[in-house]
Amino acid sequence: MSRRSPHVGFTLMEMLVTLVLISFATLLMFQMLGSYRIAQERVQAQAGAIDRQALFQAWFRESVHGLYAAPRLQFIGSAEAFTGTTLNPLHAPEGTPTPIGWRIEKQKESEVDVVYSEAGQERWRLRLQDTSDARFVYLDAEWNETPIWPPGRGLVNPEGLPALVGLVRVGVAGERPQWAAVLGPLVPPKRLYGNEQTME
């Protein structure tokens, strides 16, 4: 008589144990993927906020750098907002004199937005991080600070520009000023003959 060889394979119990182990491994894998996805979203959101803050600082600096002094153009500034004409607009072609405005809007007790407008239209809005209050300040050519422009004292050309525009942010760490200098002439040039100009 020939002896039958034993069957090779999993028993029912071994199959059940294998399926339980696979299900546990799959569950752990999905939990790890979920945690990774949440962490990635948080990192991306934080990186996006940092990028927006850096863009805001660069755009604020560039628009102030390009402030333009010309007859019948006036830069008007207060602690909450300022308006003027720049050669470095964010949306119009560079070098085009464009009316712009920056303003601070307090949304809640500890939330402050900064808003950029161009040609009378709001273009950009950003929530300032770690900021409970903010204000604009202005420095003249002699480095005198004033909360409004034109200042109420002294002899200042009403068509003139401040030498520096600052955004002072108030938070847990105290006051943090961000300054931007006006790189062009601070007063409109006077035309004499043809293209001759003087900066009196």
pTM of the model as a whole: 0.70
The sign of the torsion formed by the CA atoms of 121, 63, 154, 159 equals: negative
pLDDT at site 199: 47
Q: List, for residues 54-86, the tens digit of each pLDDT value.
A: 888 889 999 999 999 888 889 999 999 999 999
CB 118 within 8 A of CB 99: yes
Q: What is the chain's percent helix, strand, coil content, to nearest 5? A: 25, 30, 40
Pick from 104, 102, 103: which is nearest to 89 by CA?
A: 102
Beta strands at 133-139 and 81-86: parallel, antiparallel or unpaired:
unpaired
Q: What is the mean pLDDT of the chain?
A: 83
Pick from 148, 144, 149: which is nearest to 75 by CA?
A: 149
CB 191 within 8 A of CB 197: yes
Residue located via tokens 């039958």: 4
Is the pLDDT score of 140 beyond 70? yes
Residues 134, 147: Cα–Cα separation, whole Å:
12
Is the pLDDT score of 28 beyond 60? yes
Residues 99, 68: Cα–Cα separation, whole Å:
10
Residue located via tokens 């204000």: 135
DSSP class of residue 67? B
Beta-carbon contacts of 137 under 8 Å, excluding residues fewer than 6 positions away, are 79, 145, 146, 147, 165, 166, 168, 177
